[in-house]
Structure 1
Amino acid sequence: MSNELYISATPKGDRIALCQDKRLIEYHFDETEHQFSVGDIYFGTVKKVVSGLNAAFIDIGYEKDAFLHYHDLSPNIQSLNKFTKDVIAKRPVSLKLKNFQSEPQIDKLGKIVDVLSKNQPILVQVVKEPISSKGPRLSCDISIAGRYIVLVPFSNSINISKKITSKQERQRLHKLMSSVKPENFGVIVRTVAENMEVVDLQRDLENCIEKWENGLKLLKNAKPRDRIVSEMDRAASILRDMLNDDFDSIVVDTKETFDSMRTLLQNIAPQKEKILKLHSGKTKVFEHYGIEKQLKSLFGRSVSLPSGGYLIIEHTEALHVIDVNSGNKSTSEVDQEATALSVNKEAAVEIARQLRLRDMGGIVVVDFIDMKKVENKRDVHEALKDEMKTDRSKYTVLPISKFGLSQITRQRVRPEMNVVTRETCPTCSGTGTIQASIAVTDLIENNLEYLLTKQNEKKISIILHPFIYAYYKEGLISKQMKWFFKYKKWINLIKDSSLGMVDYHFLDSNGDDIELNN
């Protein structure tokens, strides 16, 4: 199994696609101006304490106050508050927490009014991004994520990932972290740390401590709403969390992104630097590697299955509903039960993929095709659980009920990813009435003649929808070849499936858009 990461820069941010064996499994859009990402640490102010909710609303600069529940305060909130006050007051304190006298832990069943008060300054971390009409969700259980470990200030515990099952390896990691971690810092050892060398783990720990110290230096002169520690951008965090021997390709399309990715790889996995490539082709990265086509086919209301079945995905305010249908698969098996089992297993694979791809969270109800045999329901349930194992979000999958329903809960920390797959007709603007009878090919050829004969452009490229591209390429002596005979210049054609049917762009010799007066 191979993993490939593709990053395409746009004026509004980076488009990020993660593929497994060329199949798209994750898609993200990392906005350039985006704030309040999961992992960001802010210097906030308590605006309101609501005893009925046992929660507080914190001002961190978002249009709506962020939400902080008592259960997210951290047992060591009193130590964090004490240290924050000392840093703001510029009292002499060790940023590495040396000789820091911890405060008693708070009661798990306590009241938030006993801990926080209005207008109190507080250090908080974003655990859920703003979704719909809700502001960010916060925690005071501050942590700094590295590649192999997660650093937890004001704690002294050492926790090992449950996915590391070897008792001997767990003991080795526990003993190692006990010997290198500073006082007043806890550590969570991540799954990727299994069998790693001491020097790698210690370097990662030092990087996390340095990140913490740099944040506290900013805190000394910070104003309310200031971001103290920034989480990595989306592409970098994917590499940090998922980079392993299965990764064999990282493709970017700008020199700036290439340099930042190379620096990251040199720090976390120098041996993987050679898999980083800078795309220099004339077609866009997503178009060249077939990702644009996958996006258009995977984000619609209906999603096809390889054997002829299909999924219908509906979204409501409270939950997501996925209906499994057999389609034209119904005649290819010996009986109805065998057909249902076959389609449901295939659907389980695609459902797990869709949850990651769209980053669907909350409650998801799947209506599988009815099966009578209990063992068949169990097989489909196990198939779904197996496919979900690679999901980085926390989830729960309940067994299939007697009504053929499977209930899934999946952690929601970001707004759901959505790609518009239905387009308004660019000719009639959705009215059903064509306002002009001039064909797009006529417009293209008229513009081309003007640019070559009146404007004396030396070299021209045209970006087209694949259908129009095929029209100009068709035949032994194609339209493109006829242009060459007519103008004595070769016109380069580039197909782009992200364009509408009648959309097109002319590029000059420098690759810049040529303004047209249609």
Structure 2
Amino acid sequence: MSTELLIDSAPTGSRIALLKDKNLVEIHSEGGENQFKVGDIYLGTVRKIVNGLNAAFIDVGYEKDAFLHYQGLGPQINSLNKFTKLVRNNNYPNLNLKGFEKEPDIEKLGKISNVLSKNNQVLVQVVKEPISTKGPRLSCELSIAGRYIVLVPFSDTVNVSKKIRSADERKRLVRLITSIKPANFGVIIRTVAEGQSVTELDKDLRNLYTTWEDGMKKLAKAKGRDKVIGEMSMASSIIRDLLNESFDAITVEDELIYDQIRSYIRSIAPEKEKIVKLYNGKAKLFENFGIEK
């Protein structure tokens, strides 16, 4: 089965069409003004605690405050808050978690007022983008997604996608990742990691760890509402999740996006860089491929 991606452009943002064997199977829209993508990590400020909802409303810079439920805090919220304060007070200069003493897990059925207070600053991650009159939905269980793995700070567990069926392969991946992951980081092994070499997995892990360190450098100087770690564009995230041997064409209408996509693929799968093409037809890209119809 061949897989093809078409990316057109407009003043209001990009549209992304996924084709399999020339048939349209998915279409996505990415608004040019949407700054609050799923996966983005912000330094937020608690504006209001609502005990009746067991939730807090957080200012991350959107016109409406974002929503954070107690269940979205994650068991290690106290460790996250402790680390955030240390970094922002310049009392944790190495920015990694080696030697960091984690706090006990919070209660599963506790109250948010026992964890957060008004005007607290807290690291939060967008898990649902803003829609209509609602602001983003947030979580404090941070994660950074790569091509083969997901890096989870303040955790120690290594989990494998259930779609990897082979018991031997699951054991191999867990053993491998456990031997190379940094201290106080958990890892979720994605389905596409099946059969991958230690070199590829280690490269992905190192890239994610660098993303974490760069974000923590930003955190040290950040102000409330600042984004400290940004998720990639929708097109890049689709490529990250789907790129495999069957991906045989990526056609891009905008030259800037074309350069970004080529650069991203060069970093994760240089042998695939040649499949990225810049469209220069007379008709619009989606019209030419029959997507509009």
- Secondary structure of the 1:173 match is helix
Structure with larger RCO (C-alpha < 8 A, sep 6+): 2
What is the rounded CA distance, in whole Å, between the counterparts of 1:256 and 1:114 in structure 2? 47
1:46 corresponds in structure 2 to: 46
Does 1:92 pair with 2:92? yes
Please give the residue correspondences for 1:308-457 in structure 2 after superposition, counting only pairs within 5 Å. Answer: none
Q: CA deviation at 1:11?
A: 2.1
Q: Which residue of structure 1 aligns with residue 215 of structure 2?
A: 215
Partner of 2:3: 3
Matches within 5 A, 1:67-466: 67-293=67-293
CA distance in structure 1 between the aligned counterparts of 2:34 and 2:66, rounded to whole angstroms = 16
Q: 2: distance between equivalents of 1:33 and 1:207?
A: 27
Matched residue of 1:265: which SS? helix
Structure 2 CA distance for aligned equivalents of residues 286 and 216 of structure 1: 40
CA distance in 1, matches of 2:169, 2:222: 42
The amino acid that maps onto 2:4 is E
CA offset at residue 221 of structure 1?
1.1
Misfit runs of 4+, over 6 Å: none
User: Displacement, 1:289?
Assistant: 1.0
Alignment partner of 1:31 is 2:31? yes
- CA separation in 2, counterparts of 1:188 and 1:203? 15
**Post-superposition offset of 1:33:** 2.2
- How far apart are residue 92 of structure 1 and its match? 3.2
1:15: which partner in 2? Answer: 15
Q: Aligned partners of 1:280, 1:68: CA distance in 2, in Å?
A: 45
Offset from partner CA, 1:190-245 (integer Å, 9 cap, x none): 00000001000000000001001111111111110111111010100000001111
Whole-angstrom distance in 2 between the partners of 1:256 and 1:277: 12
Q: Which residue does 1:466 correspond to in 2?
A: none
Equivalent-residue separation in structure 1 for 2:89 and 2:49 (angstroms):
24
Distance 1:94 1:106 in 2: 26
| Counterpart AA for 1:230 | G
Report the CA distance between 1:32 and its aligned residue: 2.1
Deviations along 1:134-180, one digit per CA (max 9) or x if unpaired, are 21110000000000000000111101111111000000000001100
Q: 1:26, 1:234 → 2: CA distance?
A: 13
For 1:77 and 1:19, how far apart are their aligned partners in 2?
A: 41
For residues 188 and 264 of structure 2, the distance between their equivalents in structure 1, rounded to whole angstroms, comes to 22
Deviation of the 1:98 alpha carbon: 1.6
Q: CA deviation at 1:26?
A: 1.5
Q: Secondary structure at the match of 1:95?
A: coil
Task: For residue 51 of structure 1, report the CA deviation from its aligned partner.
Answer: 1.4
Scaled by the length of structure 1, what TM-score is found?
0.56
Gaps of 5+ in 1: 294-518
Aligned AA (2:23): R
Shift of 1:284: 1.4
How far apart, CA to CA, are the structure 2 residues paired with 1:186 and 1:193? 16
Question: What amino acid sits opposite 1:286 in the alignment?
Answer: F
The percent of aligned pairs where both chains have the same amino acid is 60
1:115 Cα shift? Answer: 0.6
The CA deviation at 1:12 is 2.3
User: Equivalents in 1 of 2:257, 2:46: separation in Å?
Assistant: 38
Displacement of 1:254: 2.7
Instruction: Give the SS at the match of 1:156.
Output: coil
- SS of alignment partner, residue 267 of structure 2: helix
Aligned length: 293
TM (norm. structure 2) is 0.97
Q: Which amino acid aligns with 1:268?
A: I
Q: Equivalents in 2 of 1:255, 1:195: separation in Å?
A: 35
Larger Rg: 1
CA distance in 2, matches of 1:262, 1:176: 30
